[in-house]
Chains A and B, each alone.
Chain A
């Protein structure tokens, strides 16, 4: 009912324009990502899913009759939603068109992600419209207020994420939050979360993460087998596919990458500077920064963002097979290793990035800050200081959800890549003479 009111605010003409514009932008970014040289054949199903949702504006590929539950952060345990018999979808949006609509609904200094999410209330996407429930972890002020606004539109649940992780009581709090979520999910689906259904969901996610861990080994290869932008798109699709299907597609991709490795068919030469992107979330279709890096001759070798590796990297560790044991494991897995800056002490993110630099042979770091994303901005100086000690160059780039800042970003990223190349060259020279 509430949603009807919201839709009626916008005229059919306005919606038509919105649909035209948003699908055009989505299609163009998808094309740019696809057309990076020599994409593996197995990437097709992933791009198809993104195209289906954001270009054709269809619902997610889900089993018939299954309800969807929208989630807003990596801290919502997707396993729990699957166990209740619903399909989780990520609703964090990267749409520039929706951003322009949301700009009028949300204060000026709010982050573009929230604005973009609010823009979808225009009622154009079944992804949002078909959601039976929205789950929003309170991870920053914008998300907190977003939860309040979404309540007018859809039934919502907020999850209170502890602000620190040191005490066991914090963890126990989050376990309780997850327990509170269960009856609400059950109400939506009419099915019960049982030990069996939860265990089944954990196994499926486990299989996806098994394929993911295989994939990571190929991703660390130098020269690269795959473009980082494509990897980010692939990671995005996990939020819109059932885990087994995703894992199966991933298995095919892994098999193809294995063959490519044997044939020495690389996506780029090894002399491209290997770059890590970290910071604010990068949602499809807002792929401008990854694309700029790779179009300017850099190699996006790894990412430490919540829509990328972070969502799938950490496996679930169940130490006790009881229902409570699994719930505790879920609460632990979605908070403790999470490097989200919502936590007061987030020193572990620096260690994580350092380890990724080692694993992926990173030469430079691009710190992405969405305008208004304060929590990520707070952590930049600390990381800069730490990486300076390691001798890894880092730049901070701020972006918004529009294409007006692309040229400015292009210049900065190009200069950074040139700097990395120069450094690489002088290092090679020094090694040659020594």
Chain B
């Protein structure tokens, strides 16, 4: 009794601390990628890239050295070079660039004085954003009078266009991509260009704008891209490794704290004998083969690749990235094939700056997912779900007992869930950014090779990982997106059904349920036992020993049902005969 009261109090304290911390999230930096410009040499590029329709360009060489280039007939002495430090924009000379000065943060710009070309005045500029996306992102734009036309990476896959140091709204901008082909885009009323293919962003492009017949402004823009399995790619994993190390430490601390706590209890003193071990040792035949669960694992693994790597591996996959699906995978990784809806759900005001077609597409796919698939996505698609399942498997391999979530504990967690939902949907309206506290920012970005810095989010990731080690699907118990996914469960095509007469109330489903749903085994009247929290993961059906007592249906058709035979066949005397001979031998 006392313990539970402490537990509830602890949850309220965590809620209060989290709310407080959310506002100062940016100050709790777990890992910050530092620019090390000296790693970048500065050399002359020989070949002109196809996308460079301007006379100036930047490029990255084979050893990731920053290269600059200019058309024949250009006087290199006339080129003005600027670089950004954390505080200001500074004009640079070639002395600053070989090697690159250490206080530069990786944003460079070059400008060429206006020239006459084909009867028009041509203003050529070039920009390069190299190095990491540091946590405290300095504004990317230079905004200096010497560079009156500028494109800059706004966020994720959108770019901003500036003209005469103002955002250029509602104007036509021509973009030359990596194949040398041109396309015309219109900026919206915030000066953003959306719908630019991600390959174009990656390869670098030239944006040109003519305010009138006399003038042409052109800017070549290069954002650093990377390849898989390069040093750059592996460096992106460093924060994740730190988080994993902290997680291991956290697990050890929780483990020993619990042992210490239990040793005072005479009934549980026997635990002292049980030590975690690697593999082997426990001959219990508890596993049964289940095609359904195998398919679920395959889906989860597929989902992980789909949302982390697929965009880069399958270029055509990017064609789908207007479609948003509500799973927890960080959209800061631009290689998602489908987009994760979480970015716009947490930044609702930004969503409504997009054009109507985009908003309709976003909301349409979101609601279709909510209504027809529901939390099926959590059980089958969510990359974070896979991660938690893996942590659970790790615990099982080590033979460490879990922390049992009781119904009271589950009740105590509820305030935390509501807090997450409030922060998830509403934090942006009070000037916050949910991405600063989202515990899932790390995996998708780091594993995908994106250099991102992590503030409070990194610490919360440790919390999530330690939690999901001891409690299966720990995050799902309080996931705000999962809750939103569940609210239309009555319309879902997938349903969990129960035959109340066949149930013996053995509670196996309750013990197996990662969401600790009690109604599945206590329900005695209704056939439909699905609730807002059900992930449809099939664990309860897998552990149910009664014929047809539980089944998962799709459009009314059974796709998975419990069976005594499937359950008990693990004890079939294949090796039992061997064991029997052993005992008889004695």
Interface residues of A (CB under 8 A from B): 63, 165-169, 171-172, 176, 179-180, 182-183, 192-196, 199-200, 202-204, 206-207, 209-210, 213, 242, 244, 247-248, 251, 313-315, 317-326, 328-329, 332-333, 336-337, 347-348, 351-352, 354-355, 358
Enumerate the 7 nearest inter-chain pairs by beta-carbon distance, A residue then B residue, closest first: A317-B508, A206-B571, A199-B284, A337-B506, A322-B401, A324-B401, A168-B406
Q: Given A324-B401, A328-B511, A351-B524, verify A203-B571 contact (CB < 8 Å).
A: yes
- Please name all residues of chain B whose beta carbon is closer than 8 Å to the beta carbon of A352 when the two chains form the complex: 504
Q: Are A323 and B406 in contact (CB-based, < 8 A)?
A: no
Complex: A335 Cα to B96 Cα, angstroms: 78
29 contacts between A and B (CB under 8 A): A63-B583, A169-B408, A176-B268, A193-B270, A199-B283, A202-B284, A203-B579, A206-B570, A209-B568, A210-B572, A210-B573, A213-B564, A213-B565, A244-B579, A247-B576, A313-B504, A314-B545, A317-B511, A317-B512, A317-B545, A319-B508, A320-B402, A322-B399, A322-B402, A324-B271, A328-B404, A337-B504, A337-B506, A337-B507
Q: Which of A171, A180, A204, A244 has the most CB of B within 10 A?
A: A244
Q: A213-B568, A325-B401, A337-B505 are in contact. List 17 more A-B contacts (CB 8 A).
A: A63-B583, A168-B406, A168-B407, A179-B270, A199-B283, A314-B506, A315-B545, A315-B567, A317-B545, A322-B400, A322-B402, A324-B274, A332-B506, A332-B507, A348-B503, A351-B500, A354-B501
Q: Are A326 and B506 in contact (CB-based, < 8 A)?
A: no
Q: Are A168 and B408 in contact (CB-based, < 8 A)?
A: yes
Complex: A143 Cα to B403 Cα, angstroms: 35
Contact of A196 among B282, B408, B504, B512 (CB under 8 A): B282
Q: Are A351 and B406 in contact (CB-based, < 8 A)?
A: no
Contact of B580 among A171, A248, A321, A322 (CB under 8 A): A248
Q: Is B290 an interface residue (CB 8 A)?
A: no
Q: Are B506 and A167 in contact (CB-based, < 8 A)?
A: no
Complex: A182 Cα to B59 Cα, angstroms: 72
- Please name all residues of chain B whose beta carbon is closer than 8 Å to the beta carbon of A336 when the two chains form the complex: 505-507
Q: How near does chain A come to B392, taking the closest CB pair, in angstroms?
A: 10
Q: Given A317-B506, A322-B401, A333-B506, verify A195-B281 contact (CB < 8 Å).
A: yes
Q: Are B402 and A183 in contact (CB-based, < 8 A)?
A: no
Complex: A165 Cα to B518 Cα, angstroms: 12
Q: Are B282 and A195 in contact (CB-based, < 8 A)?
A: yes
Interface residues of B (CB under 8 A from A): 266-268, 270-271, 273-274, 281-286, 396, 399-402, 404, 406-408, 500-508, 511-512, 522, 524, 543, 545, 564-565, 567-573, 576, 579-580, 583, 586
Contact of A194 among B273, B524, B571 (CB under 8 A): B273
Q: Are B504 and A348 in contact (CB-based, < 8 A)?
A: yes
Q: Are A244 and B583 in contact (CB-based, < 8 A)?
A: yes
Q: Given A176-B267, A207-B573, A210-B572, verify A320-B506 contact (CB < 8 Å).
A: no
Contact of B396 among A179, A193, A196, A320 (CB under 8 A): A320
Complex: A277 Cα to B362 Cα, angstroms: 62
Q: Are B274 and A323 in contact (CB-based, < 8 A)?
A: yes
Q: Are A321 and B284 in contact (CB-based, < 8 A)?
A: yes
- Please name all residues of chain B whose beta carbon is closer than 8 Å to the beta carbon of A172 when the two chains form the complex: 406
- Please name all residues of chain A whose beta carbon is closer than 8 Å to the beta carbon of B570 when the two chains form the complex: 206
Q: Given A168-B406, A317-B545, A358-B501, verify A195-B571 contact (CB < 8 Å).
A: no
- Please name all residues of chain B whose beta carbon is closer than 8 Å to the beta carbon of A183 when the two chains form the complex: 270
Q: Are B512 and A319 in contact (CB-based, < 8 A)?
A: yes
Closest to B570 in A: A206
- Please name all residues of chain A whose beta carbon is closer than 8 Å to the beta carbon of B571 when the two chains form the complex: 203, 206-207, 209-210
Q: Are B401 and A320 in contact (CB-based, < 8 A)?
A: yes
Q: Are A195 and B274 in contact (CB-based, < 8 A)?
A: yes
- Please name all residues of chain A whose beta carbon is closer than 8 Å to the beta carbon of B267 when the two chains form the complex: 176, 179-180
Complex: A247 Cα to B458 Cα, angstroms: 54
Q: Are A348 and B401 in contact (CB-based, < 8 A)?
A: no
- Please name all residues of chain B whose beta carbon is closer than 8 Å to the beta carbon of A196 when the two chains form the complex: 281-283
- Please name all residues of chain A whose beta carbon is closer than 8 Å to the beta carbon of B501 when the two chains form the complex: 351, 354-355, 358
Q: Are A347 and B524 in contact (CB-based, < 8 A)?
A: yes
Complex: A333 Cα to B504 Cα, angstroms: 11
- Please name all residues of chain A whose beta carbon is closer than 8 Å to the beta carbon of B522 when the two chains form the complex: 166
- Please name all residues of chain A whose beta carbon is closer than 8 Å to the beta carbon of B573 when the two chains form the complex: 207, 210, 247, 251
Closest to A211 in B: B573
Q: Given A206-B570, A319-B508, A351-B501, verify A195-B285 contact (CB < 8 Å).
A: no
Q: Are B407 and A315 in contact (CB-based, < 8 A)?
A: no
Q: Are B511 and A319 in contact (CB-based, < 8 A)?
A: yes
Q: Are A322 and B274 in contact (CB-based, < 8 A)?
A: yes
Closest to A208 in B: B571
Complex: A192 Cα to B272 Cα, angstroms: 13
Complex: A202 Cα to B579 Cα, angstroms: 13
Q: Which of B401, B570, B586 has the most CB of A within 10 A?
A: B401
Closest to A201 in B: B284
Complex: A109 Cα to B176 Cα, angstroms: 99
Complex: A351 Cα to B523 Cα, angstroms: 12
Q: Are A348 and B567 in contact (CB-based, < 8 A)?
A: no
Q: Given A203-B284, A324-B271, verify A319-B506 contact (CB < 8 Å).
A: no
Complex: A347 Cα to B500 Cα, angstroms: 12
Closest to A333 in B: B506
Q: How near does chain A come to B263, taking the closest CB pair, in angstroms?
A: 13
Complex: A202 Cα to B282 Cα, angstroms: 11
- Please name all residues of chain B whose beta carbon is closer than 8 Å to the beta carbon of A325 when the two chains form the complex: 401-402
- Please name all residues of chain B whose beta carbon is closer than 8 Å to the beta carbon of A199 when the two chains form the complex: 282-284
- Please name all residues of chain B whose beta carbon is closer than 8 Å to the beta carbon of A179 when the two chains form the complex: 267-268, 270
- Please name all residues of chain A whose beta carbon is closer than 8 Å to the beta carbon of B401 when the two chains form the complex: 320, 322-325
Closest to A354 in B: B501
Q: Are B285 and A203 in contact (CB-based, < 8 A)?
A: yes
Complex: A349 Cα to B405 Cα, angstroms: 28
Complex: A72 Cα to B408 Cα, angstroms: 33
- Please name all residues of chain B whose beta carbon is closer than 8 Å to the beta carbon of A204 when the two chains form the complex: 579
Complex: A353 Cα to B543 Cα, angstroms: 22
Contact of B284 among A176, A314, A318 (CB under 8 A): A318
Closest to B545 in A: A315
Closest to B503 in A: A351
Closest to B262 in A: A324
Complex: A144 Cα to B140 Cα, angstroms: 79
Complex: A200 Cα to B281 Cα, angstroms: 11
Q: How near does chain A come to B511, taking the closest CB pair, in angstroms?
A: 5
Q: How near does chain A come to B538, taking the closest CB pair, in angstroms?
A: 13
Q: Which of A172, A320, A347, A352 has the most CB of B within 10 A?
A: A320
Contact of B576 among A207, A314, A317 (CB under 8 A): A207
Closest to A348 in B: B505
Contact of A332 among B500, B508, B569 (CB under 8 A): B508
Q: How near does chain A come to B393, taking the closest CB pair, in angstroms?
A: 11
Q: Are B285 and A206 in contact (CB-based, < 8 A)?
A: yes
Complex: A167 Cα to B284 Cα, angstroms: 28
- Please name all residues of chain A whose beta carbon is closer than 8 Å to the beta carbon of B396 when the two chains form the complex: 320-322
- Please name all residues of chain B whose beta carbon is closer than 8 Å to the beta carbon of A169 when the two chains form the complex: 406, 408
Complex: A321 Cα to B503 Cα, angstroms: 24
Complex: A322 Cα to B284 Cα, angstroms: 10
Complex: A194 Cα to B401 Cα, angstroms: 14
Q: Given A168-B408, A206-B285, verify A323-B512 contact (CB < 8 Å).
A: no
Q: Given A314-B506, A332-B508, verify A167-B281 contact (CB < 8 Å).
A: no
- Please name all residues of chain A whose beta carbon is closer than 8 Å to the beta carbon of B270 when the two chains form the complex: 179, 182-183, 193, 323
- Please name all residues of chain A whose beta carbon is closer than 8 Å to the beta carbon of B406 when the two chains form the complex: 168-169, 172
Q: How near does chain A come to B565, taking the closest CB pair, in angstroms?
A: 8
- Please name all residues of chain B whose beta carbon is closer than 8 Å to the beta carbon of A354 when the two chains form the complex: 501
Closest to B500 in A: A351
Complex: A193 Cα to B502 Cα, angstroms: 35
Q: Given A315-B545, A321-B284, verify A210-B505 contact (CB < 8 Å).
A: no
- Please name all residues of chain B whose beta carbon is closer than 8 Å to the beta carbon of A347 when the two chains form the complex: 524
Contact of B511 among A166, A195, A332, A355 (CB under 8 A): A332
Closest to A171 in B: B507
Q: How near does chain A come to B18, taking the closest CB pair, in angstroms?
A: 26
Closest to A336 in B: B507
Complex: A26 Cα to B156 Cα, angstroms: 84
Q: Are A317 and B543 in contact (CB-based, < 8 A)?
A: yes
- Please name all residues of chain B whose beta carbon is closer than 8 Å to the beta carbon of A319 when the two chains form the complex: 508, 511-512, 543
